[in-house]
Amino acid sequence: MAGDTFELNEASIEDIHYVLKSGRYSARSITQLYLARIESLDKHGPAINSVIELNPDALTIADELDREYGQNGPRGPLHGIPVLLKDSMNTADRMSTTAGSLAMVGAPAPRDAFLVQKLRAAGAIILGKSNLSEWANFRATHSVSGWSARGGQTRNPYVLDRNPCGSSSGSAVAVAATLCAIAVGTETDGSIVCPSSINGIVGIKPTLGLISRNGVIPIAHSQDTPGPMARTVGDAAMLLNVLAGSDPNDPATENSSRKAQSDYTKFLDPNGLRSARLGVARRFFGFNTDVDQLIDECIGQMRGQGAEIIDPIDYPVNEGLDEAELEVLLYEFKADLNAYLKTRSSLRVKSLSDIIAFNDERRSEEMPYFEQDIMIKAEAKGPLTESTYKDVLERNHRLTRDEGIDAVIGKYRLDAIVAPSNGPAWLTDWVTGDHISGGCSQPAAVAGYPHVTVPAGFVHGLPVGVSFFGPAWSEPTLLRIAYAFEQVTKRRQTPRFLPTVQF
């Protein structure tokens, strides 16, 4: 949308805090502006359809924050900042939490997710829930990213007939189109990295256990993690400050109290590429000549800023990892979802088998484009005590950790591994499903290690990201490198909502 006149277009957290402090805006007036923009762009105009539900109490929350601000100053580091949450995060309010499924519509969650509690305590204004690939893209083999029965199809704001990737589709699109200041997504494998890359924003998939999953609809506890999605590395780091921390109700976060940083923004060094030792994983190139050329240009700029580039590095192929990863996810999805549903006792569905039956009953609404073969395979799995599950999980971790990221980082003495995040967005196709051309999310996802994607530029008007990933708890190093790259290149551009790619 050329000539976008939105008063807070591309506004950062720091920008919003400045106008609040100056008295030029209040939390209420800022919230009103964002709500009006959602109404204009998301539901009308280009109709990008990234927001599944608005928070009916958003303005009431803003009024309370304004009262607090006048009496005591800001509540916390996100005071008055409008945030959207992926519709898989419990909110104990008048909004639903459904993973995009009609089967989950009913009574709201009884308690806020732990991360939602932290956001509220920090002063964030939760504008609403963002649309997603239904069940976080773990329902069918030939699914369509960004589509849910409850929310419909989210569209890419750069080129509207292109896909937004998923599963955190709405969170990425809303951030890209400035429908919120920041958003929270989740990733099991690629669900933060891919939509962030394809929608021209920054995404952080953190180390597993840095952020609590308590109160988040799961796929698999060995890979699931929430993470920040923002237009800048700085905003993503500020959001990570709030989200990170240990939670007694999520055992995976036990190490977070020792490993998490109190302030990730202190690592944002514009000279952070100087002397950084980066390994180029050519294994993840070669799927698109234009993408290869773009990322090579980015690598040249990194070298120009003083980074030591090791190109190529020998990154293991790990034959059979796709199938092995799926095996683990199938086992864990059944166990974890059934456990989660016990916390939502007011819902009609009590188990994965109930959801499968619901989808069959409501086939015309729930399965107009793709089926539920993944759910059926998951339902057939046994308990997590089975040796098949335990053996495959151990093998996956060994391949992606000891013999994967850790081995490569150690062998070449690297600070981080560099690769293209994804190819450009594909046409949304409800007949044959997604057509993802490439990506590098799997190693860090299966290992449970951190991965940051930053805008790298454009291919035929479509955004592409560059990825930095490394060993467990290396977020400070990755953020330092990502921030320095961002500051030098400034590759992000605002979306123009084109109807199709123009050649």
The CATH code of the domain that includes 86 is 3.90.1300.10
Query: pLDDT digits over 405-454, tens only?
Result: 999 999 999 999 999 999 999 999 999 999 998 999 999 999 999 999 99
Task: Assess if residue 498 is contained within a domain.
Answer: no
Q: How far apart are CA 216 and CA 97, in angstroms?
A: 9
**Secondary structure of residue 63 in the 3-state scheme:** helix
Q: Rounded to 5 degrees, what angle do the CA atoms 288, 495, 456 make?
A: 40
Rg (CA), the chain: 21
Give the model's pLDDT for residue 502: 76
Cα–Cα distance measured from residue 208 to residue 473, given in angstroms and rounded to the nearest whole number = 9
Q: Which of 170, 222, 227 is nearest to 199 (CA)?
A: 170
Rounded mean pLDDT, 234-249: 98
Pairing mode, if any, of strands 51-54 and 308-310? Answer: unpaired
User: What is the β-pairing status of strands 82-86 and 125-130?
Assistant: parallel
Cβ atoms of residues 442 and 325 within 8 Å: yes
Mean pLDDT, to the nearest integer, of 39-64?
A: 97
What's the chain's average pLDDT?
97
Residue 3 lies in a domain: no
Catalytic residue among 26, 191, 222, 246: 191
Q: How far apart are alpha carbons 161 and 177 in whole angstroms?
A: 16
pLDDT reported for residue 3: 57
Residue 152 in any domain: the answer is yes
Q: Is residue 475 part of a domain?
A: yes
Residue 1 pLDDT greater than 60, yes or no: no
> Would residue 411 show up in a list of annotated catalytic residues for this protein?
no
Structural domain includes residue 421: yes
Q: Predicted confidence band at 278 (pLDDT cuts at 50, 70, 90)? A: very high
Pick the catalytic residue: 12, 86, 145, 334? 86
Angle at 318 between CA 317 and CA 319, to 5 degrees: 100
Q: Which amino acid is at 401?
A: R
Report helix, strand or coil for 20: helix
Number of H helices, E strands in the chain: 18, 13
Query: Active site includes 86?
Result: yes
pLDDT bin (cut points 50, 70, 90) of residue 503 is: low
Q: What is the DSSP secondary structure assignment for residue 89, as one 8-state letter?
A: B
Catalytic residue among 26, 145, 167, 168: 167
Angstrom distances, CA of residue 196 to CA of 115, 207, 227, 243, 466: 20, 17, 11, 18, 10
420 in any annotated domain: yes
- Give the structural domain span for 141: 13-489
Number of domains in the chain: 1
| 2 occurs within a structural domain | no
pLDDT at 2 > cutoff 70: no
- 26 in a domain, yes or no? yes
CA dist 207 and 191 (Å) reads 14
pTM above 0.85, yes or no: yes
**Residue 4: band (very low, low, confident or very high) from pLDDT cuts 50, 70, 90:** confident
DSSP H or E stretch at residue 84:
strand 82-86
